[in-house]
């Protein structure tokens, strides 16, 4: 089992990834007068929250972060069985959520009190194809979501009341625990839900359009496919703001560009491609000010002006020395100030949480 990954894609020709180490990287939590009051490596009201931390278990792979930035979810490899088990990481502690034969946590609610994902159960003939959607609530209590086999839960609203999933390629919802197949024609992939639970984005294909195209759906608007700019043949949407006003993703034709989509302007390129670089877009902050992803070989966060900033430049350099922030998904808290993902370390990889403060 593996998590859904962002589209591989492309950087702006001649663009420079901004280094903010002298600005955001050196500031602690600000006091009433705006001055830094925390040591450089810490933030928070009591200056006791690390600006950057690695999850100690190097087999844990983050798949999402809670809106408040306090909970990472994903999966890790059991040392005993070498099988994958759903897990959450909060306050420096990794908790096994395992259920079934193998499992994976895909997304948490705003405070991490509800977590959704999937389990793979061992079938009688020794196969492992029986996928079931799961939700965890409270500490580690797992509940099968009502549905048939071949389903997984992909995302959850901020309050935990709406869960989004796929059942054999069909979009489904669980609203307050009640299963609903949206009955939309075609095949859907990597769907994501807005924080308010009203909007869905992802990719859609059908007999008339075999190449997946990004879509936006709500009960009020129905299914809308994004327009594909003339220079591209394929577009996907990867995330959407809290109220559904802005979606982000990528368009490509071998190389990829970072794009935004809204109902007024349609598809707009904010990170155009060149011959040598790729752009990956994975997440967006609640109000659309920040976008998370990759730019060329760097994991980056784009600001409101859509300038890319290397993640390693957003905290003091000493915290990230020797780490490789390359080609990986970047997940944002709702305010865009807490960032999570997986970083290359020596000798392997580790998930991380970064708190930029601005």
- Output the pLDDT for position 294: 87
| Element containing residue 282 per DSSP (H, E) | strand 279-284
Residue 350, C-beta contacts closer than 8 angstroms, at least 6 positions apart: 54, 55, 58, 60, 342, 343
CB 252 within 8 A of CB 232: yes
Q: Which residues pair with 354 in a beta bridge?
A: 52, 339
Per-residue pLDDT tens digits for 183-209: 999 999 999 999 999 999 999 998 877
Q: Which structural domains are found in the chain, ordered by start?
A: 24-355 (2.130.10.10)
pLDDT < 50 stretches in the chain: 1-35
Distance between CA atoms of residues 261 and 258, nearest Å: 10
pLDDT for 126 equals: 59
Residues 6+ positions from 28 with CB-CB distance below 8 Å: 36, 37, 38, 39, 40, 42, 43, 47, 51, 357
Cα diameter, the chain? 67
Per-residue pLDDT at 163: 98
Q: What are the backbone angles phi and psi of residue 24, rounded to the nearest 5°?
A: -60, -35
pTM of the model: 0.86
Q: What is the pLDDT of residue 123?
A: 64
pLDDT for res 16: 36
């Amino acid at each position: 089992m593996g998590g859904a990954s962002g589209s591989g894609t492309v950087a702006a020709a001649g663009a420079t990834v901004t280094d903010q180490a002298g600005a955001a990287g050196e500031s602690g939590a600000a006091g009433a007068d705006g001055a830094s009051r925390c040591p450089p490596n810490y933030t928070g009201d009591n200056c006791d929250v690390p600006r950057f931390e690695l999850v100690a278990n190097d087999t844990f792979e983050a798949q999402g972060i809670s809106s408040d930035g306090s909970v990472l979810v994903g999966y890790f490899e059991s040392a005993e069985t070498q099988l994958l088990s759903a897990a959450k990481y909060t306050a420096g502690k990794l908790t096994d959520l395992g259920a079934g034969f193998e499992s994976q946590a895909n997304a948490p609610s705003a405070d991490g009190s509800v977590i959704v994902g999937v389990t793979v159960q061992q079938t009688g003939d020794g196969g492992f194809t029986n996928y079931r959607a799961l939700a965890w609530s409270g500490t580690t209590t797992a509940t099968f979501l009502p549905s048939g086999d071949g389903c997984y839960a992909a995302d959850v609203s901020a309050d935990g009341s709406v869960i989004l999933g796929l059942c054999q390629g069909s979009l489904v919802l669980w609203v307050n625990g009640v299963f609903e197949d949206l009955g939309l024609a075609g095949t859907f992939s990597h769907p994501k839900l807005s924080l308010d639970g009203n909007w869905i984005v992802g990719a859609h294909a059908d007999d008339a359009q075999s190449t997946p195209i990004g879509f936006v759906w709500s009960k009020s608007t129905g299914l809308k496919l994004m327009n594909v700019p003339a220079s591209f043949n394929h577009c996907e949407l990867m995330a959407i703001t809290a109220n559904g006003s802005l979606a982000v993703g990528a368009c490509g034709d071998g190389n990829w560009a970072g794009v935004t989509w809204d109902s007024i302007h349609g598809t707009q390129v904010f990170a155009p491609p060149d011959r040598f670089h790729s752009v990956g877009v994975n997440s967006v902050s609640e109000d659309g000010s920040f976008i998370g992803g990759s730019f060329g070989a760097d994991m980056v966060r784009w600001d409101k002006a859509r300038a890319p900033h290397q993640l390693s430049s957003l905290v003091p350099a000493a915290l990230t020395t020797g780490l490789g922030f390359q080609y990986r998904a970047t997940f944002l808290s709702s305010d865009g100030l807490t960032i999570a993902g997986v970083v290359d370390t020596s000798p392997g990889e580790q998930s991380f949480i970064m708190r930029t403060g601005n």
